[in-house]
């Protein structure tokens, strides 16, 4: 199991996370509506200490079923990684493997707010 960055991450890891986040955001901006039929934003990225695996947390809007959309994204992970590699090939020696997760923090905050209003 790879150890993921925490509050003690290095400057290099932070820079790589920002690079990956920007490139993934561009990819999902280009493909979101056409391939997935919804809007996808990258809310957070993390990377393992050895820079081999990156986790991307996504918020998905305007879709009937988030799970189906996440499945489609995971099926297309290889293509997404290839496209990201084309853009980052001059900045990173090795393009990390990608893992995608749903960022449901907004839903969590909305539930808490609704409970507090009761």
| Model pLDDT for residues 57-115, shown as the tens digit of each residue | 998 888 888 889 899 999 999 999 999 999 998 888 899 999 999 987 766 777 787 77
* Residue 1 within a domain: no
Residue 109: which residues within 8 A CB-CB, separation 6 or more? none
* Residue 3 within a domain: no
- Of the candidates 54, 42, 43, the one whose C-alpha atom is nearest the C-alpha of residue 16 is 54
SS3 3: coil
* Residue 4 within a domain: no
What is the sign, positive or negative, of the torsion defined by CA atoms of 84, 88, 93, 96?
negative
pLDDT per residue over 7-65, tens digit each? 557 888 999 999 999 999 999 998 877 788 888 899 999 999 998 999 999 988 888 88
CA 73 to each of CA 77, 84, 111: distance values in angstroms, whole numbers, following the listed order: 6, 14, 26
CATH number at 22 reads 3.30.300.20
| Residue ranges making up the domain that contains 62 | 11-117
Q: Into how many domains does the chain fold?
A: 1
Structure tokens given for 63: 């879709």
* Residue 25 within a domain: yes
CA–CA distance, 20 with 59 (Å, rounded to integer): 16
């Amino acid at each position: 199991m790879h150890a993921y960055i925490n509050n003690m991450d290095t400057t290099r890891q932070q820079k790589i996370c920002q690079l990956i986040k920007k490139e993934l955001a561009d990819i999902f901006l280009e493909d979101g509506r056409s391939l997935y039929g919804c809007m996808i934003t990258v809310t957070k990225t993390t990377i393992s200490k050895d820079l081999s695996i990156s986790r991307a947390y996504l918020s998905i809007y305007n879709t009937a079923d988030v799970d189906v959309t996440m499945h489609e994204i995971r099926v297309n992970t290889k293509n997404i990684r290839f496209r990201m590699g084309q853009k980052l090939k001059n900045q990173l020696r090795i393009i990390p493997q990608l893992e995608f997760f749903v960022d449901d923090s907004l839903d969590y905050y909305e539930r808490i707010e609704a409970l507090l209003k009761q």
